[in-house]
Amino acid sequence: MVFDIDMIKSVYAAFPKRIAAARKAVGKPLTLTEKILYAHLSEGEATKGYERGVSYVDFKPDRVAMQDATAQMALLQFMQAGRSQVAVPSTVHCDHLIQAEVGATKDLAKAKDKNREVYDFLSSVSNKYGLGFWKPGAGIIHQVVLENYAFPGGMMIGTDSHTPNAGGLGMVAIGVGGADACDVMAGLPWELKFPKLIGVKLTGKLSGWTAAKDVILKVAGILTVKGGTGCIVEYFGEGARSLSATGKGTICNMGAEIGATTSIFGYDEKSEAYLRGTDRSAIADLANEIKEHLTGDPEVYASPSDYFDEVIEINLSELEPHINGPFTPDLAWPLSKFAAAVRENNWPQKLEVGLIGSCTNSSYEDISRAASLAQQAVDKKLKAKSEYTITPGSEQVRYTVERDGFLGVFENMGGVVLANACGPCIGQWARHGAEKQEKNSIITSFNRNFAKRADGNPNTHSFVASPEIVTAMAIAGDLTFNPQTDTLTNEEGMQVRLEEPAGLELPTKGFAVEDAGYQAPAADGASVEVKVAPDSDRLQLLEPFLPWEGTDLKGLKLLIKAKGKCTTDHISMAGPWLRFRGHLDNISNNLLIGAVNFFSEETNKVKNQLDGTYGEVPAVQRQYKLHNIGSVVVGDENYGEGSSREHAAMEPRFLGVRAILVKSFARIHETNLKKQGMLALTFDNPADYALVQEDDTIDIVGLDTFSPGKPLTVVLHHSDGSTDEIKVNHTYNEGQIKWFQAGSALNLVKENAI
Ligand code: SF4
């Protein structure tokens, strides 16, 4: 048993009183989302209702989960927090760094060798500070969490955008950056703007070729990639209760593709069956005792438009299988219209590869239904025309589906079983020939299909569908094939039809596994040594950032005036830089290399004010650092949108940038900057952006009376001797000003721990 039953008992014990207090504070019946959020207020019981989409609220999550690429910086920060143990149950999952090339066994062995020092580091830190550690090969974070840790009514944060997968089992599970994870592990509250709520009423029942995946593919088409921003999506209705827990997980997982904060289903018989099926009857028994608190109030579902900010209704009995793409997950095509779309848009009709599995779609139900089609292919003498790969989500699923013969069926059809890891889903795919950048089509049961995501080839047209549709398409090798209406020619020249897929939600013989790949932390971590080689190029222990010197900041140089969109990818690029996520000095060499310089309209080329030459942004900033000269980055609207990666705030801080001055910030990035002790400032008059010149030396004045709501002054000293004095705003509260003064939020956490 890896889950913490005592923690769940104490969460549930508080539910009735907290939910009654919340109902009183809000003054009306509650959605499930509200119940869970109000039951997790860091202050305890609600004394007032919060305004959706407006109020910032401190929460106390029950768990933290981290994947290996993001856990490195989260744990390096946690090591500075001065704590001997994590304050809430937390886990690390080694899934992102395993590259798919030839098949599970060889790929896993290669990854273990290549990433040894990162794995050793994560393992030893987990051991020391009391985190559960899931070794490479154990599985993908979200599947492992669903099988082991998710529980109805719980609240979890995870350093991965598909953390909402656990909503399938009734948990409010939200993707965050490593700095947030560090705070929660250190026992601090976690702040979130109280979300708006979208209700999705599901009626009817799935049948035939349609799967749970088609629900979210349809929703993505309705809401688009931005439609869920700032919202939690709550599913309900008789159709919701008819879906398996893992099917619900798939739907919640892909809520990330509509920008939703998270998605959730209520506790029902399917949740109970999954808990019991995954050896967690103790949780099911506890949940049954408070089950009225683990769904929304009946009045809410009877009249949803009175309680949700937006309501969508989908009849599962009428829902068609969908295929979404290419290049964006919200371009939704009902299967009956897809073939025409392929022809009209001139998308490559020949299907090169079908890929099933991943954290999104590798449940027993998914695999058994896909295998029923693979078996038909073998029986009906059809050879799969496309390459076909299977990525199990966990060792428990892999072992069980192998025992039950499904992997063998896939192999008979020519399928290749990949490691239980992210692999092609995150670009960790050594796809043969991708470097030629040929136009081609692939179809996956994954969640994202942005250009270059799977194989780095911008011309790969990637489509997303259910594992059943992916399998049928791989057998046909043709994107215009419609298994509901079309026949295929077999090896004997006969026309044959694929019958509807069939499978089981849960294995009749139960799940089994020999070695799930879990490492429990040491009973006493005090003597555990954390391994970081001083000459490592992948890991580097963090040094605390220096505290504020107590004076105004004078004589700063303009590093770059960024023009237009400047996302976290422009500030701290991903791709090949993924390997340096645990080494702040090395990853800082990608600082702002994607940002467009306002003055030259070029990327990664800025003026070095020390000698008048032009150089790469990180190199110029390192020159300023060498001469102990601070700098300022100026930006446009919504600076720092995109992912919550804290590297985008840590890198400029590390290299000596003192302030980011922009027209407006993306909120998470603004918070990340504050946490790292940076000044995050906005122009009072956005038109003042135009006043900033390439040769400017900059003063920031008013820091001795830095206080909430009080603007600061920026003085721009131009090279012609003239100056401009402009008013700049900030959103620092008292506590955040202390972060700035201490040098970072972490420095303050550490001070308070001593
Ligand atoms: Fe993210 Fe894909 Fe891994 Fe899932 S399988 S955690 S979506 S990279």
For ligand 1, atom 2, which residue shows the shortest CA distance? 425
For ligand 1, atom 4, which residue shows the shortest CA distance? 359
Sign of the torsion formed by the C-alpha atoms of 489, 494, 500 and 506: negative
For ligand 1, atom 3, which residue shows the shortest CA distance? 422
At 376, is the secondary structure helix, strand, or coil?
A: helix
- Tell me, what's the ipTM? 0.99
pLDDT surpassing 80 at residue 83:
yes
Per annotation, catalytic residue among 538, 645, 717, 730:
645
pLDDT of 451: 83
Superfamily per CATH, domain 553-753 = Aconitase, domain 4 (3.20.19.10)
At 659, is the secondary structure helix, strand, or coil?
A: strand
With pLDDT > 90 as the criterion, what percentage of the chain qualifies?
92
- Helices and strands of the chain, counted as H and E runs: 25, 30
Sorted by sequence, the CB contacts under 8 Å of residue 181 that are 6+ apart come out as: 64, 66, 70, 74, 78, 90, 157, 158, 159
Residue 401's Cβ-count burial label (10 Å; 0-12, 13-18, 19+) is buried
* Over residues 650-658, mean pLDDT: 98
For ligand 1, atom 5, which residue shows the shortest CA distance? 422
Give pLDDT tens digits for 577-602. 888 999 999 999 999 999 999 999 99
* CA 496 – ligand 1 centroid, Å: 35
* Over residues 76-99, mean pLDDT: 96
Give pLDDT tens digits for 261-316. 999 999 999 999 999 999 999 999 999 999 999 999 999 999 999 999 999 999 99
**The two three-digit tokens of residue 193, written as one number:** 């703007």
CB-defined site of ligand 1, < 6 Å: 95, 140-142, 160, 162, 358-359, 422, 425-426, 446-447
* Over residues 213-228, mean pLDDT: 95
Atom number, ligand 1, closest to the C-alpha of residue 360? 4
Domain boundaries, the chain: 5-315, 322-496, 553-753
Please, what CATH class does the domain formed by 5-315 belong to?
alpha beta
**Do residues 728 and 526 make contact, with C-beta atoms less than 8 angstroms apart?**
no
Give pLDDT tens digits for 708-743. 999 999 999 999 999 999 999 999 999 999 999 999
Q: How confident is the prediction for the chain on average, in pLDDT?
A: 96
Active site annotation includes 455: no
Give pLDDT tens digits for 20-67. 999 999 999 999 999 999 999 999 999 999 999 999 899 999 999 999
Residue 556: pLDDT band (50, 70, 90) is: very high
* CA 140 – ligand 1 centroid, Å: 7
Atom number, ligand 1, closest to the C-alpha of residue 165? 4
Per annotation, catalytic residue among 160, 180, 688, 696:
160
Q: 108-139: b or e for each residue (b if 16 or more CB lie within 10 Å)?
A: bebbbeebebbbebbbbbbbbbbbbbbbbbbb
pLDDT of 337: 98
Atom number, ligand 1, closest to the C-alpha of residue 141? 6
pLDDT of 666: 87
Mutate to test the pocket of ligand 1, among 66, 161, 162 (most ligand atoms within 8 A of CB): 162
Nearest Cα to 81, choosing from 746, 741, 740?
A: 746
Active site annotation includes 448: yes
* CA 423 – ligand 1 centroid, Å: 8
553-753 shares the fold of 5-315:
no
* CA 399 – ligand 1 centroid, Å: 20
∠ CA 608-639-627 to the nearest 5 degrees? 25
Give the C-alpha separation, 304 to 209, whole Å.
30
**Do residues 416 and 386 make contact, with C-beta atoms less than 8 angstroms apart?**
no
Mutate to test the pocket of ligand 1, among 92, 163, 389, 422 (most ligand atoms within 8 A of CB): 422
pLDDT of 752: 80
* Residue labelled with tokens 């993505």: 220
∠ CA 479-481-482 to the nearest 5 degrees? 125
Give pTM, 2 decimals: 0.93
Q: Round to the nearest angstrom and report the end-to-end CA distance of the chain.
A: 34
pLDDT of 133: 98
Residue 644: pLDDT band (50, 70, 90) is: confident
**The two three-digit tokens of residue 452, written as one number:** 């270059």
Active site annotation includes 96: yes
pLDDT of 362: 95
Active site annotation includes 162: no
Per annotation, catalytic residue among 40, 52, 68, 95:
95
Give the C-alpha separation, 56 to 92, whole Å.
28
pLDDT of 229: 87
Give the C-alpha separation, 132 to 111, whole Å.
21
Active site annotation includes 394: no
**The two three-digit tokens of residue 630, written as one number:** 């601070």
Residue 557: pLDDT band (50, 70, 90) is: very high
Nearest Cα to 198, choosing from 176, 175, 167?
A: 167
What Rg do the C-alpha atoms of the chain give, in angstroms? 26
Sorted by sequence, the CB contacts under 8 Å of residue 231 that are 6+ apart come out as: 195, 196, 197, 198, 260, 261, 309, 310
With pLDDT > 70 as the criterion, what percentage of the chain qualifies?
100
**The two three-digit tokens of residue 176, written as one number:** 């965050």
Give pLDDT tens digits for 85-96. 999 999 999 999
pLDDT surpassing 80 at residue 1:
no
Active site annotation includes 730: no
* Over residues 398-423, mean pLDDT: 96
pLDDT of 67: 96
β-bridge partners, 262: 232
Give pLDDT tens digits for 235-253. 999 999 999 999 999 999 9
Superfamily per CATH, domain 322-496 = Aconitase, domain 3 (3.30.499.10)
Give the C-alpha separation, 445 to 358, whole Å.
7
Give the C-alpha separation, 136 to 380, whole Å.
38
Number of Cβ atoms within 10 Å of the Cβ of 684: 14
pLDDT of 3: 87
Q: How far is CA 566 from CA 549, 636, 641, 674, 692, in A?
A: 29, 8, 7, 18, 17
pLDDT of 754: 54
**Do residues 484 and 498 make contact, with C-beta atoms less than 8 angstroms apart?**
no
pLDDT surpassing 70 at residue 638:
yes
Per annotation, catalytic residue among 52, 83, 96, 538:
96
Residue 176: pLDDT band (50, 70, 90) is: very high
Give the amino acid at 179: A
Give pLDDT tens digits for 327-345. 999 999 999 999 999 999 9
**Do residues 504 and 397 make contact, with C-beta atoms less than 8 angstroms apart?**
no
Q: Helix 734-742 to helix 745-753 angle, to the nearest 10 degrees?
A: 90
* CA 358 – ligand 1 centroid, Å: 6
* CA 1 – ligand 1 centroid, Å: 25
* CA 727 – ligand 1 centroid, Å: 44
Sequential DSSP letters for 530-585 = P---TT-SSB-PPPPPPPP-SS-EEEEEEEEEB-S---HHHHB--GGGGGGTB-HH
* Over residues 684-703, mean pLDDT: 98
Mutate to test the pocket of ligand 1, among 425, 450, 453 (most ligand atoms within 8 A of CB): 425
Give the amino acid at 277: G
Q: Helix 141-148 to helix 395-403 angle, to the nearest 10 degrees?
A: 80
* CA 14 – ligand 1 centroid, Å: 34
445: phi then psi, degrees, rounded to nearest 5? -100, 20
